[in-house]
Structure 1
Amino acid sequence: MTTSLRDALDAWRQLLGAPRVDDGDRAWARYGADTTAATRQLGGALRAASADQVPEIVRIASRFGVPVHPISTGRNWGYGSALPVNHGCVILDLGELRRIVAFDAELGVVTVEPGVTQADLAQFLAQAQHDFLVPVSGAGGTASLLANALERGYGVTPHTDHFAAVTWMEVVLADGTVHRGMLHEAGGPELASLFRWGLGMYTQGLFTQSGLGIVTQMSIALARRPESVAVCLFSLKDEALLEAAAVAIRQAMQRLHPTLGAVNLMNRHRVLSMSAPYPWDHLDAQGLIDAPTLQALGRQFQVFPWTGFATLYGTRRMVRAAQAELRQLLGGIASRLLFVTPRRADTLARLARWVPGASGRGLQRLTQSLRSSLELVAGRPNETALPLAYWRHRHPERAASPKNPAADGCGLIWYAPLVPMRADAVRRYAEMVGEVTRAHGLEPLITFTTLGDRVFDSTVPLVFDRSDPAACARAQACWHALLARGREAGFFPYRFPIQGMEPLRQLAPESCALSERIHRSLDPQGLIAPGRYR
């Protein structure tokens, strides 16, 4: 431990109290587990008790030249969990900052601190019977709302792009000063929370995917709960229908948005990862599910090569009209086109319990997953997507509750590139992912999610046995191979795990140089989350 680090930890203990400051070893024990199998040497960890302490925490970091890595809940699974990009950082845990600072029940804007989770907001809204949707993600109820928006995450509720719903932020800069924006300063907090562009230079975007400051409050515009919520489920019975489906989805987004919230298109592997146990006893020579078993699982769980999941929000008349349009667009392409409401999903889950045998058990799993997915669509956070992280875990039954893939030993790295919404691009991309993942001994789990009507974000979870060092190495190599092959083919991630920051610097030197110039102005010592996207 260097003298400067020791002195900084002593100063932080005086500010926060000794129980809230960890040395490096205790910090590693508390924060070191990561689904990507990355490791980092930590200088220590701090747990702030209130937002008022953050400016002085940063001033101490500046005084002693010790870098800090802020986290909200540390649930950044698949991208680094709670770990920093660089070695030697001190974790600044803001998870105890859980105040819902303000809520405008008439206009639907909530202001939260970093530790407020999806479940916290859901409970707050339910207790007061406020008819608004939580901007949920697949990370589950224990994940931070603020942090997901800062990472430009997205979901399936009407405000699909979570950062686009952010109207205002309070940010602590590297010198301990607090930035709230010109409109907040000159016009007051109410107007600032209602108008996302503020006044003068738009600065909010600077603090996403950057580490330029520490966000201690955020205002988020919530979608009002509509009269009708439904999903459209459909299947592609033949792999060759993928291109036609991509075109139909693009046309649907062009015609039906915003009644049509988002469309997910998932391959068979991806659906099975959330509904069926991994068949360890039926693997081929590469250690992957053999073809007969994959077909058998598809029959048992009623999963075709591709499954579509589209969300619909609006009045009953609007949703009925959108359903008619979707039938027209998808009718000649999709099989088993089905529109389901939350009530109908509950009925299907109850009826499935009466179906006997293996088919019945598969149907029960599928309908339960459907019911959970409908809850998510209705803005109620749950863990319906998290089982995929446990798919190649040797003992998924030992998962904690609530699930924590990092602490439970799961292996997961996200490859999340943008894919143009064109038929040929979707086909080339799916074939590329299948080829690269199989070459590295990984199952090809693919989802296409609409981000508007021009581009998909495709999430590919690289799921592996984290207890096996060889499997960890293959997963890391696979991510880098996907990055290289995808870039050659015109696909590139919208978000990077911590081990991807160095390749990003090499691929975007001019942009990283500009980012570095901005950082030198606001954070000349490079103290806040060094190495992130720069």
Structure 2
Amino acid sequence: MSNRLPQGIDAQTFQAALEELGAIVGRDWVFVDELPLSTYRDAYSPLADGELLPSAAIAPANVDEIQRALRVFNSYKLPIWTFGNGRNFAYGGPAPRQSGYVMFDLKRMNRILEVNEKYGYALVEPGVTYYQLDRYLRQTGSKLWIDPAAPGWGGVMGNALEHGAGYTPYGDHFVMQCGMEVVLADGEIVRTGQGAIEGSQHWQATKHAAGPHYDGMFTQSNFGVVTKMGMWLMPEPPGYKPFMITYQREEDLAAIFDAVRPLKVNQVIPNAAVAVDLLWEVSAKTTRRHYFDGKGPLPDSIRAKIAADHDLGAWNFYAAMYGPPPIIENNFKLVQDALLSIPGAKLYLDRQNDPAWDYRVRLMRGEPNMTEFSIMNWIGGGGHINFSPISAPDGNEALLQYNMIKERCHDFGFDYIGEFLVGWRDMHHILMIMYDRADEKMRKDAYDLFGRLVDEAADAGFGEYRTHLAFMDQIAGTYKYNDGALWDLHHRLKDVLDPNGILSPGKQGIWPQSMRS
């Protein structure tokens, strides 16, 4: 058995609780040995080995077992960490917020409960992955597309609950969510929206109902356990035209997004368009050591050689057009007029034998794949953590963020490796800090760099939309308008909905009263 116990629980009491839980979910679904528990660690963490590890894990098979297990957790005041079937790499993986928590693993709840072709939605359980849902749609002859995150092994529900994004016109996953079933800490089952009407036939067709809209309260929170979720799916369009435009200068970033913004707001470009920097783009097909074996950020001369060798720009912009071919071609003229007006811009409608192009094209048409995971080979050693500030799609803001973050990366000896993704009126900036976990100094420098970026971004008016476990408290502290009134509200809700503080304590910096100090 693991020697990590939940805080304030002795071994005998813990064993008694596990016996009760085993009687509910089956003893084969209670995990206490080191080997199965190792799957719940953050394999790429910037923290030292041995941190953020669970004491045990249980895997309920249905809502009834969840309700009964929650009664046990409340009785013993055991902290749990809810986990679906995604990986959440770069943000902490499946690991708990503190060592000793019991993992509440919902992977056995992996049913696709409904796919409605007429209204274009799916109703899924927590364990359903992008690959699973895509395979189901293909096997049943559906004409609906999913919108996967870049790594296709992720969970459909989990990614939406973490405010994740994809690359088709349905790329804002929480916006495309419709209707939840949630088990509260006391075991009560709540259905949101029209799901609260007995026998409703339109639970996944409309978000709205009489009264407040609660769905968002259960995203990035610890107020309940979501057991069912509706997701709108995109009908297959009659035409699809992906394209890539390379830009030669780093400072072109401002012009790119000033040109993109009206195209996005007016839905001329309907999907989640992305500007990818040189190193992110090339890391899908080569490694840093192939070009440079020195320390610190790459010299400009090496960057120039990489760009020339792979026919890439400092920025590489991807988007796609969807719909009837005549409309696509008409709108594409507007896109070309705007985006090719920047000096040095070069348009591609195809790139032979280019894995980076191939996986982007697949993502933008809703095909899950794993190619992006190969960028971990750029450094080697697997370590990575994503810093993810969000802003409006403004050229000056993009360039300000880029220059500020690149400079700080270089100060700490790291390459800037990032992308800017525009949804509708928002811009996600994803910086991937890569490091060799076996290099203790490099790992610690990555941790220190991240913490520095959090504060400097907040000082410049930028907040993160998502983060690694180790920085949840720090980032919560940057949302400090009116003396932190927003997190005060989160804590008031936590105290009412989960008075024993058992559900994912510390998730997003929301702590139960007993642990708040």
Distance of aligned partners of 1:417 and 1:505 in 2 relative to their CA distance in 1, 3 Å threshold: closer
- CA 1:290–1:337 in 2, change beyond 3 Å: closer, same or farther? closer
Q: Which residue of 1 aligns with 2:514?
A: none
Q: Superposition pairs for residues 305-316 of structure 1, below 5 Å? A: 305-316=314-325
| Equivalent pair of 1:20/1:48 in contact (CA under 8 Å) | yes
Q: Distance in 2 between matches of 1:386 and 1:518?
A: 37
1:290 lines up with 2:277 in the alignment? no
In the other structure, the counterpart of 1:401 is: none
Deviating more after overlay: 203-212 vs 43-52: 43-52
Which of 511, 514, 524 aligns to 2:486? It is 511
Query: What residue number does 2:332 align with?
Result: 323
Q: Which residue of 1 aligns with 2:82?
A: 70
Residue equivalent to 1:357: none
Of residues 422, 434, 440, the one that matches 1:463 is 434
> Given the alignment, which residue of 419, 427, 430 partners 1:447?
419
Report whether the alignment pairs 1:250 with 2:261: yes
Query: How many angstroms apart in 1 are the aligned matches of 2:307 and 2:328?
Result: 30
Q: Sequence identity of aligned pairs in percent?
A: 23
User: What whole-Å deviation, never above 9, does each CA across 1:365-396 have from its counterpart, x for those lacking one?
Assistant: xx2321222111111100122122332115xx
> Which of these residues, 251, 259, 262, is aligned with residue 272 of structure 2?
262
The one of 71, 91, 102 equivalent to 1:59 is: 71
- The structure with the greater share of residues assigned to helix is 1
Kindly indicate whether the alpha-carbon contact (under 8 Å) linking 1:230 and 1:312 is maintained by their aligned counterparts in 2.
yes
Question: Take 2:267 and 2:128, find their aligned partners in 1: how far apart are those partners?
Answer: 33
**What is the SS of the residue equivalent to 2:317?**
strand
TM-score, length of structure 2 as denominator length: 0.91
In 1, the alpha carbon distance for the partners of 2:348 and 2:237 equals 17
Shift of 1:291: 2.7
| Equivalent position amino acid for 2:457 in 1 | G
From 204, 208, 212, give the equivalent of 1:193.
Answer: 204
Q: Distance in 1 between matches of 2:374 and 2:458?
A: 29
Query: Which of residues 359, 379, 382 in structure 2 aligns to 1:372?
Result: 359
Unaligned residue ranges in structure 1 (runs of 5+): 350-363, 395-409
Instruction: Please say which of residues 170-179 and 43-52 is displaced more in the overlay.
Output: 43-52
In structure 1, what residue type is equivalent to 2:306? L
Q: 1:275 aligns with which of 274, 285, 289?
A: 285
- Distance 1:260-1:222 versus aligned 2 partners, 3 A rule: same
Instruction: Give me the whole-angstrom Cα distance separating, in 2, the residues matched to 1:525 and 1:4.
Output: 17
Distance 1:308 1:74 in 2: 28
The alignment of Structure 1 onto Structure 2 pairs a total of residues equal to 493
Instruction: State the Cα distance separating 1:502 from its structure 2 match.
Output: 1.7
TM-superposed deviation, 1:218: 0.6
CA-to-aligned-CA distance 1:140-189 (integer Å, 9 cap, x gap) = 2x110000000011111111210111111111110111111363232534
**Residues 101, 111 of structure 1: 8 Å contact kept:** yes
TM-superposed deviation, 1:497: 1.2
Structure 1 residues 256, 277: CA separation in 2 closer, same or farther (over 3 Å shift)? same
Which residue in 1 is equivalent to 2:513?
none
Q: Does 1:529 align with 2:504?
A: yes
Flag the 1:254–1:33 CA change in 2: closer, same or farther, 3 A. Answer: closer
User: Residues 54-96 of structure 1, C-alpha deviation per residue, up to 9 Å, x if partnerless?
Assistant: 1111111111110111111240101110112123210111112
| From 173, 177, 188, the counterpart of 2:184 | 173
Q: 2:112 matched to 1:137?
A: no
Letter in 2 for 1:73: N
For 2:389, the aligned partner's letter is: P
Partner of 2:515: none
Q: Secondary structure at 1:411's aligned position in 2?
A: strand
| Pair 1:23–1:334, CA change in 2 (3 A) | farther
Matches within 5 A, 1:417-432: 417-432=389-404
Do 2:110 and 2:126's aligned partners in 1 also have CA atoms closer than 8 Å? yes
Aligned residue type for 1:268:
L
Q: Using the TM superposition, give the Cα deviation of residue 516 of structure 1 relative to its aligned residue in structure 2, in angstroms.
A: 0.8
Amino acid at match of 2:166: G
- 2:247–2:346: 8 Å Cα contact kept in structure 1? no
Inter-CA distance 88–310: structure 2 relative to 1 (3 Å threshold): same
